[in-house]
Amino acid sequence: MRHRFLTWTLGASLCACTAGALAAGSNHRGWVDAWSAVPDTAGPALNDQTVRQIVRISAGGSELRIRLSNLLGNAPVTLGPAHVALHASGADTVPGSDRSLLFQGQPTVTIAKGESVLSDPVKLDVRALQELAVSLYVPAAEQYRASTAHNAGQATAYITESGDAGAAAAYPREEVSGMRFFLTDVEVSGPAAKSTIVTFGDSITDGAGSTQDANTRWPDALAERLQAEPRLASIAVANAGIGGNRILHDGYGPSAPSRFDRDALDKPGVRWIILLEGINDIGGSGYAWDAKDKVSAQQLIDGMQALIDRAHARHVKIYGATLTPYGGNGWPYHSVAGEKTRQAVNEWIRHAGAFDGVVDFDQAIRDPAAPEKMLPAYDSGDHLHPSSAGYKAMAQAVDLRWFGTP
């Protein structure tokens, strides 16, 4: 038995390969993005293998469809057959719940390099906060084809040694990975699904430091709060966080401005965006050799303002989140100069009135006795990423009155 997927690691940098990616279809009325994982790395090739991925959707509906991406692949890729089913436990699904997914009526689809595709809608009654299993067969290939992946899934993907096992309720447990493969969105439609909140950010929005397979990122906790309020239960949450993301430069994935349309404004049903970006720009300045990579507070403010203007031009409200404490993470990522920059940016977020509203994540999780640091109970241990408890506290700080009656 091989375990090559356990040892695959993210490369040092990625090119911002955004050209040619299809928009996520915000002009399709009646659909919302109920789950998302942004492509951020070219992953390992799958060859005559099936990958089953477990996702928890944030809104319910009577129909669903998925988006598959070859954004970061090195060649056209053929995928399918694909299946969706209700998740039971581990890698298994609820017997009788499996649905085949088609692409323009066909069980397979070839996706050009840099492109993405939506599946045809399939009827399946799904509840908000329900877990689904999406299974995707990747046929054998004569040459190496890098997969388009989301590196830090905070969830287990189950991969067969060989063969198509997509329809199997009892799934063979042969290989596992912490990455997401090809699957970038699950969209739902139905009377209960109306609007989408996009949480846009870096690894803190992506959920680094949260419990594996537990759905305890702060966007997950926000979705739970919405579902607890009957008047807000029609609102979906799409997580557009990627590790290492920056406002001013590319890094582990394309910069925030270069992906803002695809990963936020073009999401179906989007009405609101919560922006948490900038800590990697500040921390990265400590490592920077080139002057262009040493950023100022004003540069970050200007970058945020540009994103605000783009959201408003599309009639989407955008809420600013203050940058969370990272003292103790270690020099040069954390520094006296960097802390001054964080404080200056946070003051602008709080008081400039540029955003439609402000969620003070900094205040929600900082240690009152040492404000440059997180409370120990909210720290995952690296002094940068919150723990699951910290993420819950962040979600609690979001003002649900922003979302009114959809």
The tens digit of pLDDT for each residue in 280-311 reads 999 988 776 677 778 999 999 999 999 999 99
Q: Could you give the C-alpha distances from 107 to 101, 104, 141, in angstroms and in order?
A: 7, 9, 17
The tens digit of pLDDT for each residue in 206-228 reads 999 999 999 999 999 999 999 99
Taking 80 as the threshold, does the pLDDT of residue 26 lie above it?
no
- pTM for the full model? 0.92
Rounded to the nearest 10 degrees, what angle do helices 218-227 and 388-396 cross at? 50
Which CATH number is correct for 194-403, 3.40.50.720, 3.20.20.150, 3.40.50.1110, 3.90.226.10?
Answer: 3.40.50.1110
End-to-end CA distance of the chain: 50
Give the C-alpha separation, 200 to 196, whole Å: 12
The tens digit of pLDDT for each residue in 364-386 reads 999 999 999 999 999 999 999 99
- What per-residue confidence (pLDDT) applies to 294? 85
Strands 61-69 and 116-118: antiparallel
Give the C-alpha separation, 329 to 63, whole Å: 45
- Alpha carbons within 13 angstroms on the beta-carbon side of residue 268 total 26
- What per-residue confidence (pLDDT) applies to 236? 98
Q: Contact 293/284 with Cβ under 8 angstroms? A: yes
- What per-residue confidence (pLDDT) applies to 12? 29
The tens digit of pLDDT for each residue in 239-282 reads 999 999 999 998 777 899 999 999 999 999 999 999 999 999 99
Q: Contact 64/134 with Cβ under 8 angstroms? A: no
- What per-residue confidence (pLDDT) applies to 5? 35
- What per-residue confidence (pLDDT) applies to 161? 96
- By mean pLDDT, which of 5-9, 88-92, 183-187 is the weakest? 5-9
The tens digit of pLDDT for each residue in 28-78 reads 459 999 999 999 999 999 999 999 999 999 999 999 999 999 999 999 999
Q: Could you give the C-alpha distances from 276 to 94, 100, 279, 346, 375, in angstroms and in order?
A: 37, 37, 9, 11, 19
- What per-residue confidence (pLDDT) applies to 405? 64
